[in-house]
Amino acid sequence: MEIRELSPAQALARLHAGALLVDVRAGHERALGMAAGARGIAREELEAAPGQYLPDPDAEIVLICQGGRRSQLAAQALAARGYRNLCSVAGGTAAWETADLPMLRPGIDADFGERYSRHLRLPEVGLQGQQRLEATRMLLLGAGGLGSPAAFYLAAAGVGTLRIVDDDVVDRSNLQRQILHTEARIGVAKVESAAAALSALNPRTRVEPLAERVSSDNVERVLDGVDVVLDGGDNFAVRYLLNDACVKLGKPLVHGAVHRFEGQVSVFDAGRQRGRAPCYRCLFPDPPPPEAAPNCSEAGVLGVLPGVIGMLQATEALKLALGLGESLAGRLLHFDALAMRFRETRLAPDPDCPVCAAGRPFPGYIDYARFCSGQ
């Protein structure tokens, strides 16, 4: 059956004359905005039970989707079920908006809808997920090689609050990989430089810069109120400290590390999954000797490598915030840039771990600098 098409202006006129305007897009699509006066009924639901939504088969029904194709198909399905007065809007909602006809954006402002439109089109994210991201608070330790790409993508994705902790200042040698910073901000505190870059990218994200070094004395204050922790440092003492604090406080820790041409990523979530997920100490019960683990300033690092690892950390952090997919908890992902190869190692919780073993009380913070120096 040939379904008559109306222009958006003609559809609006029929709406004013008493026709039913039905938007057959999915809910996450309608969240981006829909024709004012339209009733939202997803095509699948409408076709499954048309009588539930449209009891009068003689009523004038105008269907609209995003571009015009789905509304045509929905109209044909309704015609086959006995509906006799059907039209479809040519060009759909896109044409309606281009014609500057009235739009309804329930619960969101224009900036939110435009900025996050690609997330809002994902059924797995949608409006509810994006609002969840906007309510999420994340801690990023380090505004350097790993923290730079992670922070950029987390802010761009719409994470509501990023607390960034780093006590260093921007140096010219950082610019080869630490893309948050610029030549003009050499000598500026890294957290202030990061705040400037991220605010320019997305002013909706609140940046909390903390220009201090994390220690046993302040770690719980630094982690207070955050939902996800990302380790973007290259200091073993702080890695162990963050791990222990996250186990104690029940926060997921997204781990990342780089060395020369190789990197690794994992999620340590033992604080919330005692006995089921490992912590960092389960993987490395004892730190390597200092001579076996030089940092980037001593061993060097391929400039793009922290970008790959930091981006993977941001991906894991977003999945944790949204409750999507399978996290890297219990898995260590290795990346070899020279071979362009990933490999995965399965990690099991250590039943005798001094920090995360099931039923074991928190042992307290230690002298992590001394622990990592092997003294």
Q: Which residues are catalytic?
A: 296
Q: How far is the C-alpha of 92 from the C-alpha of 345, rounded, in Å?
A: 49
Exposed e or buried b per residue across 295-320, where buried means at least 16 C-beta atoms within 10 angstroms of its C-beta: ebeeeebbeebbbbbbbbbbbbbbbb
Q: How far is the C-alpha of 98 from the C-alpha of 53, rounded, in Å?
A: 29
Between the alpha carbon of residue 93 and those of residues 10, 75, 88, 150, the distances in Å are: 13, 16, 11, 35
Between the alpha carbon of residue 236 and those of residues 233, 260, 331, the distances in Å are: 8, 17, 20
Contacts of 244 by beta carbon, 8 Å cutoff, 6+ apart: 281, 355, 362, 365
The first and second tokens of residue 279, run together, are 């912590």
Q: Are 264 and 256 in contact (CB under 8 A)?
A: yes
Between the alpha carbon of residue 150 and those of residues 22, 279, 306, 324, the distances in Å are: 41, 21, 9, 18
Return the HEC string of 159-173.
CCEEEEECCCECCHH
What DSSP designation does 301 have?
B
Q: How far is the C-alpha of 234 from the C-alpha of 168, rounded, in Å?
A: 13
> Which residue shows structure tokens 């222009």?
7
Q: How far is the C-alpha of 364 from the C-alpha of 374, rounded, in Å?
A: 19
How many H-runs (helices) and E-runs (strands) does the chain carry? 17, 15
Q: How far is the C-alpha of 235 from the C-alpha of 296, rounded, in Å?
A: 10
CA 229, chain centre distance (Å): 13
Q: Which of 343, 345, 363 is nearest to 354 (CA)?
A: 363
Phi, psi for 88 (deg, rounded to 5): -130, 145
